Structure 1
């Protein structure tokens, strides 16, 4: 009985470890894109990426107010076309960073901007 319990514990530990590794491997396919905002602009004016899943990390570099992040298909910047998953999880306070949820992007052109910081609209190209 003791051998059976020991074997069972080892088996459960092995399965748990394998599942944890699978989850870690899945997360490696998600890439982080860091974007910095200063007063009235993003410092990155145009971005080119490959198709895939991304998390956007938005940095508020002394803008002096909250900032956000909006991503849309190019030419469709009205609110109903916003890619909601790309919104930051909460507004980005002055001199802090915040991230979006995971966003899967396919080949095409997108527009990104911040209406709170009144930035221009910039281009994101997915190849």
Structure 2
């Protein structure tokens, strides 16, 4: 019986510790909010510090679903293998709605972002320094 109780205490303690770690991780994740209107992003250039970010993409008045693609500057944006897939929104963003990406680690450098569904320019720049 003592072994069973000790096992339960260990399991609950481990779950509690893991929950605490998740909340610590969440606090270090920041959000980058971007808005799309017909044919373009309203933010053309952003500068952030290195770190982990979630992209929140808003569809404001585009009469169809939109998406989000992030690529390291200088790489071919037409090749999906160059896309930073964690930055994709988790579902297409319908008109007047928002959607988020998975947490994405951004290292120093420059990135370009665009929407292949809207479509928007590939000249939008995210600078990480």
Asked whether the two chains share a fold, i.e. TM above 0.5, the reply is yes
**1:71-90 mapped onto 2 (5 Å cutoff):** 71-76=70-75, 77-79=77-79, 80-90=81-91
Secondary structure of 1:25 counterpart: helix
**1:56-95 mapped onto 2 (5 Å cutoff):** 56-76=55-75, 77-79=77-79, 80-95=81-96
2:125 to 104, 123, 126: 123
85 and 19 in structure 1: CA distance in 2 versus 1, 3 angstrom threshold: closer
Over residues 66-108 of structure 1, what are the superposed CA-to-partner deviations in whole Å (9 max), with x where a residue is unaligned?
A: 1000100112112221111111111111111111111111000
Query: May I ask how many residue pairs the two structures share in their alignment?
Result: 126
Structure 1 unpaired stretches of 5+? none
1:103 matched residue in structure 2: 104
**TM-score, length-normalised on structure 1?**
0.86
Structure 2 unpaired stretches of 5+? none
| Higher radius of gyration, 1 or 2 | 1
Report the alpha carbon displacement of residue 6 of structure 1 after superposing the two structures with TM.
Answer: 8.8
Runs of 4+ in 1 over 6 A off after TM superposition: 5-12
**TM-score, length-normalised on structure 2?**
0.84
Q: Distance in 1 between matches of 2:66 and 2:106?
A: 23
Secondary structure of 1:55 counterpart: strand
Secondary structure of 1:28 counterpart: helix
Secondary structure of 1:33 counterpart: strand
Q: Distance in 1 between matches of 2:74 and 2:8?
A: 57
1:37 matched residue in structure 2: 36
